[in-house]
Amino acid sequence: MNEILRKQFLRHVAQTSPAPQLIEVARAEGVFFYTPEGKPYYDLVSGVSVNNVGHGNPAVVEAVQRQAADYMHIMVYGEMVERPQVEFARRLAKALPEPLDTVYFLNSGAEAVEGALKLAKRYTGRTEMISMRRAYHGSTHGAMSMMGAPEGEEWKNAFRPLLPDTKAIRFNCEEDLMQITPRTACVLCEPVQGEAGVIPPKEGFLQALRKRCTEVGALLIFDEIQMGMGRSGEMFAMQKYGVTPDIVCLAKALGGGMPLGAFVASQEIMSTLTHNPVLGHITTFGGHPVCCAAGLAAMRFLQENRVVEDVERKGVMFEQALTDHPQVQAIRRSGLLLAVELGSSDKLYRLMDIFIEEGILSDWFLYCDTAFRISPPLVITDDEIRDCVELIRKCLDRL
């Protein structure tokens, strides 16, 4: 670690917590990143479910280099015909179920959520917006307003007033669906809750949610920012559960490692953003050609190499290899996103230090600090899984 760089980081780069991890990164490849001294770390976070196609993926690097040389930013979003943007939108539309065929590109997950909420209000002419308890949708004012109570209250209270006319119902609770009424503009829901500590939907819940939204004319918005682009074992988690929302939010892995977000709806719904008022939702950098080129290359890589088809099997490999360790109380999983439950935050914090010593980067979850995250690049090989699991077990033995 370069001491001067470390000091300058602490002095000049804005901090988000009193205890940053402070590992200096020199380069990254596949499922590893390396310090300047050459120490490798298994990346079990993937920049929080971003690097699905692996670090330094040659197809993505080549696409970025080519596009950067051709042209970068030209004009605000939605005015010029830029090939990487058009081709990526078309590929996404083809992969998503009908009628989700019109893509609004932005820069991040929170921005995708903001756009989707505005679209739902504008389309329905209603104001009430419902989210799920223990949901995380981003850190901007609108997205934070949809942070699910009660766990989100600590964050929300520090920044009130937030958006009015919002409320949170219980995920996986069909009884609460009656709180969705003809006043409701939209319901925002992660098909698999990520930061709650990986909570998959109970059988029938998403179907019942879809039915209730349709009955009362509320738009259903899925936040697939963490699960989309293959993490769940399908390209989109909605396909796993056979439920199509009216709007879907994407980000994280969407840009293949570059910053990119999007919300996708039918052309009929999306077109309401073009009038009354015109320019009702605009962005300078959204859909940046280099980010779209990277995202397009990443999605093509996933599809051409049938990466997603192998995700469930790899997830099972991790689960089966860890489930019998005496420190492991439970494992919750969707595809290659696992929450390994230790039942104690003290143990978890100790384990994080041991992981760092042994060359593993993991993390806990925003609303669950008793479980650690396994969210590797989806391209992790079977040999790497076996080796990584052995290392994890060695760390767990030290607890």
Q: Which residues bind ligand PLP (CB under 6 A)?
A: 48, 108-110, 136-138, 190, 194-195, 223, 225-226, 251
Q: How far is the CB of 275 from ligand PLP (least distance, A)?
A: 28
Give the nearest distance from C-beta 112 to ligand PLP in angstroms.
8
Q: Smallest gap, in angstroms, from Cβ of residue 31 to ligand PLP?
A: 20
Tell me the pairing of strands 128-132 and 330-334: unpaired
- CB 391 to ligand PLP: min, Å: 26
Choice between 109 and 289, CB closer to ligand PLP: 109
DSSP label at 55? B
Closest CA to 356 of 51, 47, 40, 52: 40
| Structural tokens at position 141 | 């004012």
- Cβ proximity to ligand PLP, 137 vs 314, nearer residue: 137
Is residue 338 within 8 Å of residue 375, measured between CB atoms?
Answer: yes
Instruction: Indicate the residue type of 211.
Output: K
The first and second tokens of residue 132, run together, are 């799920």
Q: What is the DSSP code string of 112-124? A: HHHHHHHHHHHHH
CB of 159 to ligand PLP, least distance (A): 15
Side-chain-side CA neighbours of residue 199 (13 Å): 21
Residue 109 or 257: the one with the smaller Cβ distance to ligand PLP is 109
Nearer to ligand PLP, 291 or 389 (CB): 291
Residue nearest to ligand PLP (CB): 109
Q: Which is nearer to ligand PLP, 231 or 300 (CB)?
A: 231
* Burial class of residue 238 (count of CB atoms within 10 Å of its CB; 0-12, 13-18, 19+): buried
How far apart are CB 49 and ligand PLP at their closest, in Å?
7
What letter does residue 303 receive in the DSSP assignment? H
Minimum distance from residue 228 beta carbon to ligand PLP (Å): 9
382: how many CB neighbours lie within 10 A of its CB?
11
Beta bridge partners of 193: 199
Nearer to ligand PLP, 102 or 226 (CB): 226
Q: How many CA atoms lie within 13 A of 370 on its CB side?
A: 10
Q: Which is nearer to ligand PLP, 223 or 310 (CB)?
A: 223
Q: What angle do CA 150, 154, 155 make, to 5 degrees?
A: 110
Provide the CB-side half-sphere exposure for 71 (13 A, CA). Answer: 11
Q: How many Cα atoms occupy the beta-carbon half-sphere of 76 within 13 Å?
A: 5
CB of 111 to ligand PLP, least distance (A): 7
Q: Given the complex with ligand PLP, which of 107 and 327 has the nearer CB atom? A: 107
